[in-house]
Structure 1
Amino acid sequence: MSSQLSIVGGGMVGACLALALQPFARQAGWRIRLVEAHPPGDKVQTSYDARATALSHGSRLLLERLGVWQALAQGAEPIRHIHVSDRGHPGITRLDAHQEGVPALGYVVENALLGQVLLSALDREVVEWLAPARVVRLQAQVGGYALDIEQQGQLSQLETDLLVLADGGRSGLLDQLGVHREVKPYGQAAIIANVSSAEGHNSVAYERFTQSGPLALLPLSSKRSALVWTLPEDQAAEVAALPDPLFLARLQEAFGYRMGALTQVGARACYPLQLIEAQEQVRPHLVVLGNAAHSLHPIAGQGFNLSLRDTLALADTLIAAGRQQRLPGDLAVLQEYLQRQQRDQRQTVAFSDYLTRLFSNSQPLLTIGRNLGLLGLDLLPPARRLFARQAMGLKA
């Protein structure tokens, strides 16, 4: 039973889905089409300012399933310790990979390497790659969707049995389809940059909660750390634009000296933070995936890891349906996927949102409560283990 599957968005989520489906698609005669607006890079572009993604231990296990972890491992910086603190208060929690029985709590991988490894693993006889190409119009029809695609100034129409929208949190295609998204602004913006320090990170990921918002420094190669610094929206752009010495001084004041003096900062990006959730993730012949389905605050590092779990669950559901001679676009099949993932999605979104709101609030009673909570996690191994397993993307 031949089927045509189209994935709009050839980034990390879309490429992972194509890769997960690829072996069964080869056997079943399915055709997979990846439509991506940006041309694929020919090689990894390494630079001081290279952007990176935090992968949980659970995501490592899923990438091993996909057969790509070995290629990623040499460029992945391990997180062996996590240090969570509240600036100006005694509450501290420490997580340790050895205590959790894993080689690392997570890893930080530069996006360019992750993208190259995923795309290199695709079989072009099974996965058709359209890039740069843009879907300008979608139309539901009997048995699937029609896609109007613009490529090199030319328009063409393609049909698909299953359409997966994985084109990011600002997907205009969802608007075309009338898929409502619930948006909860945090009143914060994130400054993203890479920084270096005199003493290096020693494989520690730092989560630091300040009066102005959460701050994270994640370990990268060459003594660099990936910074995610959340500030009130009306301050962030001004801080991001400071000259390097003034920016480092402000960051040092907020973070402290756990890595010694901060010595270098690269280019800064700044964007507003919101919790965005699509109110529909499945329709007949349609799945919304990745940031298009749910965009989370970056401070807890849960966004891509949740999307990867969704992706593998969707692939497993589609493959199981294919083996039963069921059509991949059947609503009943897609609802099985969603029911399978709803608990994980709700727990992860709630965990991320709760941490963000709790540690962005300076009310005295909440400050006392969260510090008692951090101390309790540090002193009570069972509670710390539950927290660690959530952070690692594992079931409690």
Structure 2
Amino acid sequence: MNRFDTDLIIAGGGLAGATLALALARVVPSLRVTVVETFPLSADALPEHYQPSYDARSTALAWGSRLIFEELGLWPRLSEHATPIRQIHVSDRGHFGATRLNAGDHGQEALGYVADNRWMGLCLMRELLETGVQWQAPAEVVDMTPETEGVRVALKRGTETWSLSAQCLVVADGGRSGLREALGFQTRNHSYGQNALIANVSTGESHRFTAFERFTDAGPMALLPHGTTTRAGHQSALVWTLTDEALDEVLALSDPQKCQRLQERFGWRLGRFTRIGECSHYPLKLTTVDEAVRPGVALVGNAAHALHPVAGQGFNLALRGLMTLVEQLRQAVEQGQSLGDLQVLGRYQRLHRQDWQQTVQFSDSLIRIFGDAPAPVAAARDAGLVGLDLLPGAKRWFARKAMGLGGRRAVISKPGVARREPAGHE
């Protein structure tokens, strides 16, 4: 008889939680996994034909993330609406420095991809419906109590409350995790004093599958190619960094005025900005948790670390962390250890820590180097961009960081399948 109601509970069924559930179903199918999600599940959310809306929000997927989704069997479906990034152009507004990365120079068809968040969620849900993963939705995890070799998790749906016992609880409910605070995890926050404005835009010139990273005296902005997977279009996903005052000014403008302001900051590399969609925004801060695991509980994704979006590394870092956790849980099952054993979760934290520290340092240093700086510093960074464009070794290092291949990536082992190193892994 099973001692627990379920083996592992995942609090949060978003991209991180759903990916973790699918990976566990693929790699350790014997585990009983329960996902608790606040939004209800409905068959209406699984249309036969997907038509992206103009205002759909998207995520940048590094090449390394594609390799992970290939291992999970998700990429063939996901790639149907994933726009390739074949070039990256990095520039410093008002200065001569620039560098260019090209996928062909690294023997790949793309440096990364841009995918709608909703499409990714639909792909994950369709795959999960074919597994034994159980769902409690709508519901939320409100508390957790340690027990002998496991935990008891309190759940709530409206006025109804109940509990489930499990070996381990994984908190995957995002950067604004209320459960993380309720369980007493201490976060460290560094505010950048800026906001990210997110919108989709259309331009007179085709993006030619190029992502633009533009550093300005008011903060960085990024334009990621969006739309069709085979024909270079005119739509891009915008991430625009603004101070509080500048954000209020931009939000008060009409759409044509927003396009004009964006034109002034970005320039004419994509021709005239002709349309800007619905704008959303959020404050930018670096959030880390020193100790992301305790006996019986682990934080993953944005609940464990939230980065500045300047380098597009947030979800890619989270995905690598999820695969590291899956591998440690697989080994625990093989060795007869409890999933919530601190030795098991501690190994996950130690293995993932180096990756997130390097990624945080990479993203944070870009903000500091390309922030408002004296003339000698500005000249040095421009010379650095030119040098990066000319020196193959430095350029390859930068490209690997952008492709999500610079950090440690767990190679998951499926039952009955020998371990292998995927292409592009070092």
Taking structure 1 as the reference length, the TM-score comes to 0.96
Residue of structure 1 in register with 2:17 after alignment: 14
How far did 1:124 drift? 5.9
Q: Partner amino acid for 2:120? A: L
Contact 1:22 1:123 in 2 (8 A): no
Q: Residue 324 of structure 2 aligns with which residue? A: 313
Q: Which amino acid aligns with 1:161?
A: Q
What is the aligned counterpart of 1:299 among 310, 325, 344? 310
**Contact 2:188-2:288 within 8 A present in 1 as well:** yes
Give the counterpart of 1:150 among 147, 151, 156. 156
Residue deviations 1:198-235 (CA, integer Å, cap 9, x gap): 11211000000000000000000152100000011232
Instruction: Compare 124-133 and 304-313 and name the one that shifted more.
Output: 124-133
Q: Please, which runs of 5 or more residues in structure 2 have no aligned partner? A: 228-232, 407-425
C-alpha distance in 2 between matches for 1:22 and 1:281: 23
- The answer as to whether partners of 2:25 and 2:131 remain within 8 angstroms in 1 is no
After TM superposition, list the pairs within 5 Å mapping 1:269-348 onto structure 2. Answer: 269-348=280-359
Change (3 A) 1:167 1:182: same
- Confirm whether residue 92 of structure 1 aligns to residue 98 of structure 2: yes
C-alpha separation in 1, matches of 2:114 and 2:361: 23
Q: Secondary structure at the match of 2:128?
A: coil
**Partners of 2:321 and 2:174 in 1: CA distance:** 14
How many residue pairs get aligned? The number is: 394
- Name the SS of the counterpart of 1:312 in structure 2: helix
Q: Aligned equivalents of 1:370 and 1:9: distance in 2? A: 41
Offset of 1:24 from its aligned partner? 4.2
- Matched AA of 2:104: H
Instruction: Give a deviation string over 1:168-214, Cα, whole Å, max 9, x none.
Output: 11111111121100000000001000000011211000000000000
Q: Is the 8 A contact 1:237 1:270 kept in 2?
A: no
Describe the SS at the equivalent of 1:205.
Answer: strand
Deviations 1:15-51 (A, max 9, x none): 111111103443x3x2101111122433456211000
Deviation of 1:152 (Å):
4.4
Q: Deviations over 1:90-112 (max 9, x none)?
A: 00010000001111000000011
**Correspondence 1:1-396 to 2 at 5 A:** 4-26=7-29, 28=30, 30-40=31-41, 41-43=45-47, 44=50, 46-123=52-129, 126-221=132-227, 222-395=233-406
Any idea what the Cα deviations from partners look like across 1:48-74, whole Å, max 9, x if unmatched? 100000000000000001100000112
| Amino acid corresponding to residue 106 of structure 1 in structure 2 | G
Q: 2: CA distance between counterparts of 1:241 and 1:129?
A: 42
Return the alpha-carbon distance in structure 2 between the equivalents of residues 166 and 118 of structure 1. Answer: 15
Q: Give the distance between the partners of 1:283 and 1:324, measured in 2 at CA.
A: 20
CA distance in 2, matches of 1:24, 1:207: 37
Alpha-carbon distance, 1:345 to partner: 1.0
What RMSD in Å do the two structures reach over aligned CA positions? 1.5
The 3-state SS of whatever aligns with 2:360 is helix
Distance 1:240 1:359 in 2: 25
Is contact 1:191–1:240 with CA below 8 Å preserved after alignment? no
Q: Which amino acid in structure 1 is aligned with residue 58 of structure 2? A: A
Tell me the SS of whatever aligns to 2:151: strand
